[in-house]
């Protein structure tokens, strides 16, 4: 058997074991008795504003101006990305706790924690389509490993050389969902480099791609997605900013959320250039292991330390797998948690010739959750 094929098979075998992690997964808790108890509470405490059907009371009767972000609980595209903790925070502490309107009262005095869980179970029943991936599976974004959850996000991510030639790359990434399970993605890199004491800048090779969720289950805490895209030769090859050929990229991403908010994200993929005499085919295997800690009994600011293990290998005879480790810390910046930042250090562990340490950081904005100036 050819050596490359063997490497690929080994990684596929390793990676396909990941779903076994499902066995340690979470259990859902949405019994119908819960929903019934929730319905009583909803009718007496919420329906006056949110409407008996969860769409919101008619403007004329409600007696308040609807904020732009006023929820329609039957709209799965609006509700499924929100994890239960977000709703619990808002119901317990009132709208302003997440930068929402103070028309949404706090029920911390009126309802027990269990009663709030019951009413959330009812709110969940308003979305009738069970195929939407749930927001709990939208794990904290790692610096390199792509997650499985389809996102509405803008990310500006920068890697700066801390060793070797001064320079770096900033990626401007736009991700947008469509339909129940899909997402398009555009990634434009901008390079800046000191080449023999002169600074050069320019865009690199632009990625266009589509990601689709193949499987997701809140019950087991797992989500699997596939990605297919093209990396276009928009970068200047002579400057070393581009490969000079179109590359087809494909990957699978499998993420697992465990009880107690430990998580594992894995990504296995390949880059297949059209002209392999210009750029070699390569494979990559990225994994991120992390843990989220939320202040205020699990409802406040979210801190997510993670460590990534990043492997990449050209599919040529002399090549070896390059390994990097990347410890990092993601933190939510806005009250609504729709603006977040992450900072880490990428350290090559083998074949370090020509591969130096890098400082990597991003700022991300989940634009579906609110405008940039909202939610603070």
Question: Residues 19, 55, 77, 86: which binds ligand HEC (CB under 6 A)?
Answer: 86
What does the alpha-carbon distance between residue 255 and residue 22 come to, in Å, rounded to a whole number?
10
Closest-CA residue to 106 (of 98, 115, 95): 95
CB 212 within 8 A of CB 131: no
Rg over alpha carbons for the chain, rounded to the nearest Å, is 23
Examine residue 281 and tell whether it contacts ligand HEC (CB under 6 A).
Answer: no
Examine residue 46 and tell whether it contacts ligand HEC (CB under 6 A).
Answer: yes
Examine residue 76 and tell whether it contacts ligand HEC (CB under 6 A).
Answer: no
Q: Please list every residue from 55 through 74 that binds ligand HEC, using CB under 6 A.
A: 67, 69-71
What does the alpha-carbon distance between residue 29 and residue 121 come to, in Å, rounded to a whole number?
8
Size of the site for ligand HEC (CB under 6 A): 22
Q: Which is nearer to ligand HEC, 71 or 209 (CB)?
A: 71
Q: Please list every residue from 111 through 140 that binds ligand HEC, using CB under 6 A.
A: 119
Q: Please list every residue from 153 through 172 that binds ligand HEC, using CB under 6 A.
A: none
Examine residue 312 and tell whether it contacts ligand HEC (CB under 6 A).
Answer: no
Question: Residues 18, 21, 37, 90: which binds ligand HEC (CB under 6 A)?
Answer: 90
What does the alpha-carbon distance between residue 162 and residue 169 come to, in Å, rounded to a whole number?
12
Examine residue 104 and tell whether it contacts ligand HEC (CB under 6 A).
Answer: yes
Q: Which is nearer to ligand HEC, 92 or 139 (CB)?
A: 92
What does the alpha-carbon distance between residue 271 and residue 342 come to, in Å, rounded to a whole number?
26
CB 277 within 8 A of CB 257: no
The number of C-alpha atoms within 13 Å of 301 and in the hemisphere containing its C-beta is 11
Question: Residues 45, 188, 232, 289: which binds ligand HEC (CB under 6 A)?
Answer: 45
Cβ count near 138 (within 10 Å): 22
Q: Which residues bind to ligand HEC, rule: CB under 6 A? A: 45-46, 48-50, 67, 69-71, 82, 86-87, 90-91, 95, 100-101, 103-105, 107, 119
């Amino acid at each position: 058997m050819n050596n490359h094929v063997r490497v690929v098979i080994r990684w596929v075998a390793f990676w396909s074991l990941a779903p076994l992690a499902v066995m340690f997964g979470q259990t859902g808790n949405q019994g119908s008795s819960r929903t019934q108890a929730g319905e009583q509470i909803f009718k007496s405490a919420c329906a006056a504003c949110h409407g008996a059907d969860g769409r919101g009371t008619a403007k004329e009767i409600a007696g308040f101006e609807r904020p732009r972000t006023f929820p329609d609980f039957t709209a799965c595209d609006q509700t499924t990305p929100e994890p239960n903790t977000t709703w619990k925070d808002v119901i317990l502490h009132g709208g302003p706790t997440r930068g929402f309107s103070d028309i949404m009262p706090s029920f911390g005095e009126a309802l027990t924690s269990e009663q709030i869980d019951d009413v959330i179970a009812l709110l969940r029943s308003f979305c009738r389509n069970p195929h939407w991936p749930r927001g709990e599976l939208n794990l904290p974004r790692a610096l390199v490993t792509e997650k499985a959850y389809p996102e509405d996000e803008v990310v500006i991510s920068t890697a700066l050389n801390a060793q070797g030639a001064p320079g770096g790359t900033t990626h401007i990434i736009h991700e947008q969902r469509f339909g129940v399970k899909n997402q398009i993605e555009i990634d434009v890199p901008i390079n800046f480099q000191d080449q023999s004491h002169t600074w050069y800048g320019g865009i690199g090779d632009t990625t266009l791609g589509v990601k689709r969720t193949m499987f997701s289950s809140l019950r087991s805490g797992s989500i699997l997605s596939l990605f297919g895209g093209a990396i276009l030769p928009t970068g200047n090859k002579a400057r070393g900013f581009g490969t000079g050929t179109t590359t087809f990229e494909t990957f699978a991403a499998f993420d697992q959320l465990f009880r107690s908010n430990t998580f594992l994200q894995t990504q296995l993929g390949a880059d297949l250039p059209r002209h392999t005499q210009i750029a070699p085919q390569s494979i990559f295997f990225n994994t991120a292991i992390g843990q989220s800690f939320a202040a205020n009994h699990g409802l406040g600011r979210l801190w997510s330390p993670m460590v990534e293990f990043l492997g990449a290998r050209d599919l040529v005879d002399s090549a070896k797998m390059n390994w990097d480790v990347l410890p990092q810390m993601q933190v939510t910046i806005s009250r609504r948690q729709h603006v977040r930042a992450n900072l880490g250090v990428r350290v090559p562990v083998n074949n370090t010739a020509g591969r130096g340490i890098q400082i990597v950081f991003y700022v991300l904005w989940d634009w579906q959750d609110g405008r940039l100036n909202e939610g603070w």
